[in-house]
Amino acid sequence: MAHTLNLSSDQSFSLSLTLGCGQAFRWEQDEAGWWEGVVGDEVIRVRQEDRSLTFTGTSEERLIEYFALDMDLAHVLETIDRDPFIHAAIEECAGLRILRQPSWECLLSYLCATNTNIPMVKKRVRLLAESLGERIPGTDQFAFPVPSVFNETCAEPLDHCRLGYRKGYLATTACQLAAEGGWEGRVRAQPFEEARQVLTRLPGIGPKAADCVLLFGFSRYEAFPVDVWIRRIMQQFYPETAAEGSFTPKEYERIRRFAWEYFGEYAGYAQEYLYGARMGAAQIP
């Protein structure tokens, strides 16, 4: 049975921008405009028409939490709207919100995401769920594998997931965290830089993956992931942060620290809007 959530006048939200910007990997849109995705053990279908969300497979409370509809987006955007470049991106990507993803799934997903494109990441995450996850009753979808699966068996089922060199990293990290337990609480309890260090000590988690996990899996909005696209954007619009030539760790650090100091506690939202606008061919001056 479908349910409807009517957005209030101060709840700016674009379902398509939010699900289509590459922050999560288990969503697909059909020709009728419905988005279908797996969140935890739920298969959610949702469609937006103007200020109404029609949905199945979850509760209204869960939908609000996952899409961060309880967040004052206008306030967030006011804090980062500091120059003509980000202002144009905010207008171009009106309603884009950062999802609140399950942190375990987010971590393993971004382990699958190094040095590749979004369609390939989606395929790897799907194969990971099909190989190690439980089928969700009444559907043809699979839940993301829970940590206890990796306590029992690690590397062998990953052979079918097209992970390449990432297989060893994912198996080692997943097994380590599954055996330890409590890692999510430790990350949440740490100040940002210390939490980032906890993640970058894990096999296969570099600075960008750590920043993605903190931003999308822990709602640490000061995180500013830097990939080749963001680097190009920063070179073009904030040239004091970037350099020509090879993309070095030193330059990565300079860009993310500039972003945090310049955009403030919601630098991650600035990153998503700048990225979304450029990928959408926005006319940023």
Structure tokens at 89: 């991106």
80-to-87, 90, 219, 240, 267 alpha-carbon distances in Å? 8, 9, 16, 18, 7
**Cβ contacts of residue 248 below 8 Å, gap of 6+?**
none
Q: If you average pLDDT over residues 143-164, what whole number do you get?
A: 75
Sign of CA pseudo-dihedral 282, 92, 90, 226: negative
Residue 80: what residue type?
I
Q: For residue range 1-29, what is the model confidence (pLDDT) as tens digits?
A: 899 999 998 899 999 999 999 999 999 99
Please provide the CATH number assigned to the domain covering 103-218: 1.10.340.30
Between 86 and 241, residue with greater pLDDT: 86
- The whole-angstrom separation of Cα 137 and Cα 75 is 40
Q: If you average pLDDT over residues 255-264, what whole number do you get?
A: 96
Q: For residue range 93-105, what is the model confidence (pLDDT) as tens digits?
A: 999 999 999 999 9
Supply the pLDDT for residue 48. Answer: 97
- The whole-angstrom separation of Cα 11 and Cα 162 is 40
Return the domain boundaries, the chain: 3-70, 72-97+221-285, 103-218
Structure tokens at 258: 């500039």
Supply the pLDDT for residue 282. Answer: 44
CATH architecture of 72-97+221-285: Orthogonal Bundle (1.10)
CATH architecture of 3-70: 2-Layer Sandwich (3.30)
Q: Comparing C-alpha atoms, which of 179, 256, 164 is closest to residue 214? A: 256
Do the domains 72-97+221-285 and 103-218 sit in the same CATH topology, yes or no?
no
* Helix/strand/coil for 36: strand
39-to-121, 143, 147, 171 alpha-carbon distances in Å? 16, 8, 16, 22
DSSP 8-state code for residue 135:
B
**Cβ contacts of residue 103 below 8 Å, gap of 6+?**
184, 187, 213, 217, 218
Whether the pLDDT of residue 283 is over 80: the answer is: no
Sign of CA pseudo-dihedral 225, 102, 37, 3: negative
